[in-house]
Chain A
């Protein structure tokens, strides 16, 4: 069942793992490559859905924030529906629900996309995250400081230029801390892929438990892998925030010193 090993320490590990440890960790080690492939599926689904959902959410958030006469209503309905129902139900509807209909199975979408569990998961996750991102991006756009908008108008920007140069960059910065939560929720939500046959991290954990009739090993391994991913994501966002929101931090240096140094730099004369 567990790995054959050549070193005494290895033998000892196998012995402890099989006989004394509450968890058979050698079994996990033997199947670790499966868990890594599972991590690939998890990361693919999470980040592709965040990317596509994020891009979709920008025009929808603008339509909501500026109360577009045609699109505001439909987008509101869309976000209301997808934020008001569980992701599991949405995924089941797409995967098991649509497959029940002859017309769907005959359609051109069935072969390449809807018959495939990976695509079903990606579509459900994308629609879900787009709905959440739309709403908090809308909130960030609405709270753009009026001074910034006024300044943009005063310098003669067209509405489109103003949105592109002033409103969206400013809204993204304000939405960034909230967005890190959405990314982590999406990563956690991606375990739903395992319920529609996909072998993501959770799917591999369930496979291991099912294959060897275990209760914990697969889930504990999955849990640790998710924790590592969440840790990496929070660190990533910390760095991103210092990069993007650096100008908002309280200043600790005096202004005079850098100004003196700047004068000595070559090229400083260009600003005379």
Chain B
């Protein structure tokens, strides 16, 4: 049974951390997205790369379990976790109250604010009236969808399956603005050729209800042992400096955010 497998993996994880000597006999399957650069993307040869991928691998190494990455489209990523296609999600998923109804989260492993991006000189003002009637693109099923629906109800919300499609339509002018994670917007769009002539508009968009408390690892409800193992591993890579080194490599800054 799958459940037994997970319990076994979790048990092995506990042993690995607690005793520091055991090695795991079974693979822990981790759901990732692969269409959210620089956090996760797919190389032409099909291998997965990115900050989320590297973090997942580092956490697995710390937990001393063998991990297997499972690719999954964003809008089905929680249902697939519940359907036991994998055991944990490491995909820049923000920890929000709405998601906590379906899954459990570890502590955050990074926290960066969301910001709007629009064409330079578009004159778009980030306010309820400034965005009224404007076409705003977001990825379906993200905290940004929640936030635009809540804070800018008069904006015309345009939903996409992947963040890459949002950027494609922003570049072709089909939408007036888009909102996504600021770092992701910077590295995934503004610093690329397609992002020429575009820039951030408005300040950091922050809201505990919609945006949550940062990105964490999601697991099925009731997987307390797995949560504990991940939390210990996150703490361990924070403590030994490997997290900071990885963050510096990708972003030139430590993206963990405030708090411990």
Contacts of A209 in B (CB 8 A): 75-76, 79, 141
Cβ–Cβ contact B173 & A210, under 8 A: no
Q: Contact size class for B?
A: 20 to 34
- A20 contacts partner chain B, Cβ-Cβ < 8 Å: no
A19 within 8 A of B: no
Question: Contact residues of A with B, CB < 8 Å?
Answer: 96, 99-100, 105, 110, 115-117, 195, 197, 199, 203, 206-207, 209-216
The number of residue pairs between A and B whose CB atoms lie closer than 8 Å in the complex comes to 57
In the complex, are the beta carbons of A206 and B83 less than 8 A apart?
no
Interface set, chain B 171-185, CB cutoff 8 A to A = 172-174
CB within 8 Å of A: which of B19-61? none
| Chain B residues within 8 Å of A116, by CB | 174
Give B contacts to A, CB under 8 Å.
75-76, 78-79, 82-83, 98-99, 101-103, 137, 140-141, 145-146, 149, 158-161, 165, 168-169, 172-174
Selected from B83, B103, B141, B160, the residue in CB contact (under 8 A) with A197 is: B160
CB proximity of B207 to chain A, nearest CB, Å = 16
Q: From the candidates B75, B137, B168, B172, name the one contacting A115 in the complex (CB within 8 A).
A: B172
Whether A197 contacts B102 by the Cβ 8 Å rule is: no
In the complex, chain B residues whose CB is within 8 Å of the CB of A211 = 141, 145-146, 149
Contact A115 B102 (CB under 8 A): no
Contact B159 A210 (CB under 8 A): yes
Tell me the minimal C-beta distance from B143 to chain A in angstroms: 11
**Closest Cβ of chain A: how far from B194's Cβ, in Å?**
10
B173 touches A206 (CB 8 A): no
CA distance A153 to B83 in the complex (A): 68
Q: Which residues of A contact B158 (CB under 8 A)?
A: 197
B162 CB → nearest A CB, Å: 11
Q: Which residues of A contact B168 (CB under 8 A)?
A: 96, 99
Which listed residue (A110, A115, A206) contacts B140, Cβ 8 A?
A: A206
- The 8 A-B pairs of least Cβ separation, nearest first, read A210-B141, A215-B79, A99-B172, A210-B140, A213-B78, A210-B75, A213-B102, A197-B158
The reply to whether A207 and B140 contact each other, CB–CB distance below 8 Å, is: yes
Known contacts A207-B159, A213-B141; A105/B173 CB under 8 A: yes
Contacts of A203 in B (CB 8 A): 159
Contacts of A117 in B (CB 8 A): 174
